[in-house]
């Protein structure tokens, strides 16, 4: 390759990296704005007929209901992505997420329109779930399939950075407004501002994504006419084991992540421990920054030591911190709270950074969008959907955070077991099957250690 060609390729890689990082950041900003609003204001504004823990449980449940629809979003997004291409679906999902988020910012409360308010809120959250389910797979594939040989972890980390970056933006915005406004103003109208600002972010994200080239793997599939006419049928006929394993791998990361940034730690520290809301939000902002840092480290690290080993280190670290985090938080000290969330973010980063590369390597190109998206959507459902609700229930019924720690350890054990039995393909090429090999496409990445 000439110097000019190398420079052009490098620019193309940077453009794809920017598009996937910016797009997923905006998507997750929208997603996390809701989660944190559920922890802080939705119980009072949309579920006021309920009281105390019941209102909090229902508010968290509305945040979790979107995860139920992520697999459905993954199915339609994966089908379109395997048939029409990665880029088009990414533009579509970004617009859907932004529209739902903007509408939440305009939604009247229960005091204004009664029962219609929580119903519409749940409907808009469902649209967010459909969007998130179809979004991640496309961003991951676009980044990984554009990546140079031996650097899939490095380039695949960019869509992964969107979650912690989006969380930093979401929490930062809420913290800023919470600091600048009185409690009365924040509850009356201030909480709506982050939702309404999403409109400008979405327009910018769509413009960036429209200027990105389609994945070279998908373009070659189109040229060889090797794209699958029935990707879902092919996927569940030949690659269902990897769909299940992918979901279980993501489960442990999801439980830890949604304790950290899904609103539960914010709710627990401000409610049960009695810490100042702005102090807790500041700690979560720092945790999101360290989560971003460790995610950034985790992707390239997996290129060097392998995906499996990186995951194993991350899940082991998560289990080690499961009990200490609540002991630290219970002190009511800001430095100890900060230490707790930063330590939790370490394991989170190492099990999140390599995810795009790992999931893409688990499926053949013809069904890769569907496979990666559905595995991710199912993993989000079993390991993220109702984590704050489950944690709230466990604490209210047992009276101790030990039950939550056991829950986190159990999920981590399931995930470390699942990742340990797949074949690490970090050093192998991403295949582009020839049409004549279509019947055998399921054999290319579907190797699992141990009996099938």
Task: Express each pLDDT in 94-108 by its tens digit.
Answer: 788 888 889 999 999
Backbone phi, then psi, for 215, in 5-degree steps? -55, 135
pLDDT attached to residue 364 = 86
Span 185-197, mean pLDDT?
89
pLDDT attached to residue 384 = 75
pLDDT attached to residue 69 = 85
Residue 71 banded pLDDT, cuts 50, 70, 90: confident
Report d(CA 432, CA 413) in Å as an integer.
Answer: 34
Mean pLDDT is highest, among 203-217, 250-264, 301-315, 379-393, for: 301-315
Span 247-255, mean pLDDT?
94
pLDDT attached to residue 439 = 41
Report d(CA 349, CA 191) in Å as an integer.
Answer: 29
**Which of 54, 32, 59 minimizes the C-alpha distance to 43?**
59
pLDDT attached to residue 351 = 96
Span 64-81, mean pLDDT?
79
Asked if 290 and 180 count as a contact pair (C-beta separation under 8 A), the reply is no
Report whether pLDDT(394) > 90.
yes
**Higher-pLDDT residue of 36, 110:** 110
Report d(CA 296, CA 423) in Å as an integer.
Answer: 23
Report whether pLDDT(10) > 70.
no
Query: Domains of the chain: which residue ranges?
Result: 8-443
pLDDT attached to residue 256 = 92
Report d(CA 421, CA 187) in Å as an integer.
Answer: 49
pLDDT attached to residue 408 = 96
Give per-residue pLDDT as tens, 213-230. Answer: 666 666 665 665 545 556
* Residue 87 token pair: 């880029």
**Higher-pLDDT residue of 213, 170:** 170
Mean pLDDT of the chain: 82
Backbone phi, then psi, for 51, in 5-degree steps? -130, 150
pTM for the whole thing?
0.80
Judged by average pLDDT, the poorest of 193-202, 312-321, 345-354, 425-434 is 425-434
Judged by average pLDDT, the poorest of 134-143, 307-316, 346-355 is 134-143
Span 129-140, mean pLDDT?
81
pLDDT attached to residue 298 = 96
CATH 1.20.1250.20 at 8-443, yes or no: yes
**Which of 153, 299, 135, 141 minimizes the C-alpha distance to 216?**
141
**Higher-pLDDT residue of 263, 280:** 280
Span 22-36, mean pLDDT?
79
Mean pLDDT is highest, among 88-97, 114-123, 368-377, for: 114-123
Give per-residue pLDDT as tens, 400-447. Answer: 999 999 999 999 999 999 999 998 888 887 764 434 344 444 444 444
Give per-residue pLDDT as tens, 272-290. Answer: 899 988 888 888 888 889 9
pLDDT attached to residue 309 = 96
DSSP 82-127: HHH-HHHHHHHHHHHHHHHHHHHHH---HHHHTTHHHHHHHHHHHH
Coil, helix or strand at residue 263: coil
């Amino acid at each position: 390759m000439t110097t000019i060609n190398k420079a052009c390729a490098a620019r193309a890689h940077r453009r794809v990296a920017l598009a996937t990082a910016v797009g997923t950041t905006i998507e997750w900003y929208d997603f996390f704005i809701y989660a944190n609003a559920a922890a802080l204001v939705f119980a009072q504004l949309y579920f006021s007929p309920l009281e105390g823990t019941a209102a909090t449980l229902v508010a968290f449940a509305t945040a979790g209901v979107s995860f139920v629809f992520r697999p459905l979003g993954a199915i339609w997004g994966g089908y379109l992505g395997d048939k029409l291409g990665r880029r088009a679906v990414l533009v579509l999902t970004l617009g859907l997420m932004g529209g739902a988020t903007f509408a939440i910012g305009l939604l009247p409360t229960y005091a204004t329109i009664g029962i219609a308010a929580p119903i519409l809120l749940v409907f808009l959250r469902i649209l967010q779930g459909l969007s998130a389910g179809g979004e991640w797979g496309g961003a991951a594939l676009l980044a990984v399939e554009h990546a140079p040989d031996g650097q899939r972890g490095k380039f695949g980390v960019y869509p992964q950075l969107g979650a912690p970056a989006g969380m930093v933006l979401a929490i930062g915005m809420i913290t800023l407004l919470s600091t600048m406004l009185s409690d009365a103003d924040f509850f009356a109208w201030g909480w709506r501002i982050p939702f309404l600002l999403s409109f400008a972010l979405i327009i910018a994200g769509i413009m960036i994504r429209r200027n990105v080239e389609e994945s070279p793997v998908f373009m070659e599939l189109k040229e060889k006419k090797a794209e699958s006419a029935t990707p879902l049928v092919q996927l569940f006929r030949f690659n269902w084991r990897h769909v299940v394993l992918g979901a279980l791998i993501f489960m442990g990361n999801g439980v830890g992540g949604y304790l950290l940034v899904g609103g539960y730690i914010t709710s627990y520290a401000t409610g049960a421990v009695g810490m100042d809301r702005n102090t807790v939000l500041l700690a979560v902002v720092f945790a999101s920054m360290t989560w971003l840092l460790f995610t950034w480290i985790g992707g390239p690290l997996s290129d060097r030591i392998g995906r499996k080993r990186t995951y194993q280190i991350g899940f082991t670290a998560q289990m080690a911190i499961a009990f200490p985090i609540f002991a630290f938080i219970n002190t009511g000290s800001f430095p100890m709270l900060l230490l707790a969330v930063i330590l939790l973010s370490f394991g989170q980063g190492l099990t999140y950074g390599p995810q795009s590369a790992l999931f893409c390597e688990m499926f053949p190109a013809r069904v890769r969008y569907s496979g990666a998206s559905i595995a991710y959507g199912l993993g989000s459902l079993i390991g993220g959907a109702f984590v704050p609700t489950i944690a709230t229930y466990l604490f209210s019924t047992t009276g101790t955070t030990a039950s939550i720690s056991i829950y986190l350890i159990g999920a981590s054990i399931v995930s470390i077991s699942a990742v340990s039995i797949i074949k690490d393909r970090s050093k192998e090429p991403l295949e582009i099957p020839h049409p004549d090999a279509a019947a055998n496409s399921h054999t290319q990445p579907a190797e699992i250690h141990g009996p099938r």
